[in-house]
Amino acid sequence: MTTLKPHTALPIAPSVLAHLRVRDDAGRPARPYEDPEGDAPLRCCLRGSLPGERIALVSYAPLRRWAAATGADPGAYDEQGPVFIHAAECAGPAAGTGYPFAHPGALRTARRYDAAGHILGGRVLTLAADPGAQIEEALTEAFADPAVALVHLRAVEFGCFLFEVRRAP
């Protein structure tokens, strides 16, 4: 298994979560519910939900949120989609979370963006025996291009945003 991990998976920021728990990025009110099965990919703490936890499925525009903070204008690349979050504030990711939602057999895409918020391309990953190493390799490859400002890891099957990695300052 890989121990070196120079890139950090970022959860949705607590201030953004506070807004999403009231009204999501599509303007709809959050509708919390009790998760009957568990394993919903929570973007607030970067882990799967547990059966019985109160969660909400909200619309989130990660590139729009980043662009607002950086002054970028992603134009048509601004998109929103569904993400699961805890219905109430949580502690965030546990220390040493690594790359969440990475398990053998999963299909992922590492989508690259420049400082203006425009897509520079990406890489499709079929995760195998050491998924963390594969994700790290894709991120290292992405950030080798000096034009890449951030990378979104997404699920191929549903297109869901899983987490963001930003270029180190």
What is the secondary structure of 101-141 as a DSSP string?
A: T--TT-EEEEEEE-TTS-EEEEEEEE--S-HHHHHHHHHHH
Joined together, the tokens standing for residue 126 give 């079929």
Average pLDDT, the chain: 93
> What's the rounded Cα separation, in Å, for the pair 12 and 19?
11
pTM: 0.91
Q: Which one-letter amino acid corresponds to residue 55?
A: I
- The CA distances from residue 149 to 66, 111, 119, 163, 167, in Å, are 11, 11, 10, 14, 5
Q: What is the pLDDT of residue 5?
A: 59
> What's the rounded Cα separation, in Å, for the pair 127 and 106?
5
- pLDDT band per the 50, 70, 90 thresholds, residue 159: confident
- The CA distances from residue 98 to 15, 73, 95, 120, 130, in Å, are 22, 30, 8, 25, 12
- pLDDT band per the 50, 70, 90 thresholds, residue 101: very high
pLDDT tens digit sequence for 11-59: 999 999 999 999 999 999 999 999 999 999 999 999 999 999 999 999 9
Intra-chain end-to-end CA distance of the chain, in Å: 27
- pLDDT band per the 50, 70, 90 thresholds, residue 2: very low
For residue 27, with 0-12 CB atoms within 10 Å meaning exposed, 13-18 middle and 19 or more buried, which class applies?
A: exposed
Given its phi and psi angles, is residue 46 left (phi above 0), alpha (psi -120 to 50 degrees) or beta?
Answer: left
Task: Pick the closest to residue 78 from 66, 89, 95 (CA basis).
Answer: 66
Q: Which residue in the block uniquely carries the two structure tokens 């270029």?
A: 167
Residues near 15 by Cβ (< 8 Å), separated by ≥ 6? none
Summarize the confidence of residues 105-110 as an average pLDDT: 96
